[in-house]
Amino acid sequence: MKRVTTIVVGAGQCGLAMSHALRRRSVDHLVLERGRIANSWRSERWDSLRLLTPNWMNGLAGRPYRGPDPDGFMACGEFADRLARAAALDGAPVLQETRVLALDPLGGGYRVQTDQGAIACDSVVIASGECALPRIPGLAGDLPPDVLQLTPQSYKRAADVPEAGVLVVGAGASGLQIARELAQAGRRVTLAVGNHLRLPRRYRGADILWWMDRLGVLDLPPSGEDELDRLRRAPSLPLLGDASHADIDLNSLQDLGIEIVGRLAGLTEGKAWFSGSLANACASADLKLARLLDRIDAHADGAGIDAPPAYRLPATRIPEAPRLMLRLGAGGIGTVVWATGYRPDHRWVTLPVFDGKGRIRHAGGVVGEGIYVLGLRHLRSARSTHIAGAPRDARVLARHLTGRLGGRAAA
């Protein structure tokens, strides 16, 4: 059986950042990737998707962005190519087309079983990411069989979607963007809206993420388990990566003819039923936005930043009588897009490291006994959710990992 000190599972930005950090500490390791490097960026995104973070935020480990368009937004394929080039320049020891099947204890270390054979190691870094599988609600099984079901992973382009009406469930970044693209292609779109956020793309002359970075909100660690649980369940940032720096929110989608309704509450007898909570959900999003912009204004004034005057988005428009029911199937909704979030795929981890909700227990990425995890939402702070957080988190975990190895050697 082949043996190596550390196995890293996943060759996206997190796995490659960990490889970079381990290489700098002279830790021999292998990176296992089920497909090609940056597989999910290449094969599990829709064609038009661009990164939601501006280019200046998308530096890789040891390679900050130095290009000509720091405020632009890369296409996913371009970002995947950057990851592959970085891996080649680093000499990252990546085994592509190698799927991990199981992780088991072996002596004082572990055995990683793959479809190419078993590998023994002292430590394992799980870097397969937060967005491995779409999170589909159980009621999806109640849809009529003639209704096409898609997710942000399986949706590729508007031309593939039948001409009948489309129901997009979820008003996070993916739901807003897919609904927008379908409406622009002439589809009749209804968007089911539950708990969501609202942000302008730019505010007072700068990208909203520049302000959030400046405020330090991306680097605040969760204050406890309750807050961490809340943050993990929080909606994604509703932003659009577009050269126009356009906003994307419920108002702009309604301007395109998209009908907004409340949270999807049930599917019965060929009908979709929606809650009456639309107004409350929108008021909550508007309130959270106002609080953030108030903080930005106070910071800009207090720090003497020469920023343009504030312009705030108008309140979210609510239909006078939001629809509570839609017919499914012939003559109604022909496609449902489940933009209801993602979840990690840790089914191959056969160790007792999960909590009661099936999530890996960890302290800032340290699971314990030589097991680490990277790429989860709010792993160490909000920055962990973004590409820019991967190198920093990897350095911290690599330091812990080598310290553990040194301690074992001394013992």
**Residue 408: predicted pLDDT:** 58
The single residue listed with the structure tokens 């190419």 is 116
In the chain, where the domains are located: 2-132+344-410, 135-338
Residue 226 has pLDDT above 80, yes or no: no
Question: What are the pLDDT digits (tens) for 213-225?
Answer: 999 988 887 777 7
Q: For residue 167, how many other CB atoms are within 10 A of its CB?
A: 26
Report how far residue 151's alpha carbon sits from residue 164's, in angstroms, rounded to the nearest whole number: 17
The mean per-residue pLDDT over the stretch 219-240 comes to 80
Report how far residue 237's alpha carbon sits from residue 334's, in angstroms, rounded to the nearest whole number: 28
- Cβ(207)–Cβ(237) below 8 Å: no
Higher-scoring residue by pLDDT: 270, 234: 270
Residue 121 has pLDDT above 70, yes or no: yes
Report how far residue 186's alpha carbon sits from residue 309's, in angstroms, rounded to the nearest whole number: 37
pTM above 0.85, yes or no: yes
- Looking at domain 135-338, its CATH superfamily turns out to be FAD/NAD(P)-binding domain (3.50.50.60)
H or E element that contains 5? strand 2-9
Report how far residue 35's alpha carbon sits from residue 43's, in angstroms, rounded to the nearest whole number: 9
The mean per-residue pLDDT over the stretch 170-184 comes to 97
CA distances from 18 to 67, 169, 240, 378, 398 (A): 24, 35, 29, 17, 7
- Cβ(258)–Cβ(179) below 8 Å: yes
Residue 411 has pLDDT above 50, yes or no: no
In the structure, what pLDDT confidence band is assigned to residue 325 with cuts at 50, 70 and 90? very high
* % of residues, the chain, pLDDT over 90: 87
For 343, phi then psi, to 5°, come to: -145, 155
Question: What are the pLDDT digits (tens) for 99-113?
Answer: 999 999 998 899 999
Residue 409 has pLDDT above 90, yes or no: no
Report how far residue 378's alpha carbon sits from residue 364's, in angstroms, rounded to the nearest whole number: 9
Question: What are the pLDDT digits (tens) for 43-90?
Answer: 999 999 999 999 999 999 999 999 999 999 999 999 999 999 999 999
Report how far residue 25's alpha carbon sits from residue 19's, in angstroms, rounded to the nearest whole number: 10
Residue 407 has pLDDT above 70, yes or no: no
Degrees (nearest 5) of the Cα angle 339, 373, 61?
Answer: 90
- CATH class given for the domain over 2-132+344-410: alpha beta
Contacts for 30 with CB less than 8 Å, ≥ 6 apart: 4, 6, 7, 8, 93, 94, 95, 119
- Angle separating helix axes 389-410 and 13-24, nearest 10 degrees: 40
**Residue 410: predicted pLDDT:** 36
**Fold match flag (2-132+344-410 vs 135-338):** yes
Report how far residue 199's alpha carbon sits from residue 285's, in angstroms, rounded to the nearest whole number: 9
Question: What are the pLDDT digits (tens) for 135-156?
Answer: 999 999 999 999 999 999 999 9
Q: What one-letter code names the amino acid at 176?
A: L
